[in-house]
Amino acid sequence: MKAARKYKIDGRVQGVGFRAFVQHAANRLGVRGWARNLADGSVEVYAIGTPEQLAEFAGLVRQGPRFAEVRTVEELEAALEHWSDFLIR
């Protein structure tokens, strides 16, 4: 059973490889979707996977790469869309 989530990550998350980190984590876990920078300096992530995949993925999103500083993560349920990969937008 697939589910979808949207995450808005605030902190020092642009210019530190955050989207590439998230893409790598998604590919390793079999999660599909996308990540993009927002104009306010945050990163938005849309992810599709099983509840177990999304739980592990959310933990990695909250951690981020070595040079990131994740301050807050807003996690919301999202409508299920069809994505065959995880893209950086």
Q: What is the per-residue burial (b if ≥16 Cβ within 10 Å, else e) of 27-40?
A: eebebbbbbebeee
The active-site residue out of 12, 19, 32, 66 is: 19
Q: Is 5 a catalytic residue?
A: no
39 bridge partner residues: none
Question: How many angstroms separate the CA atoms of 63 and 27, rounded?
Answer: 17
Q: Is 37 a catalytic residue?
A: yes
The active-site residue out of 12, 27, 37, 66 is: 37
Enzyme catalytic residues: 19, 37
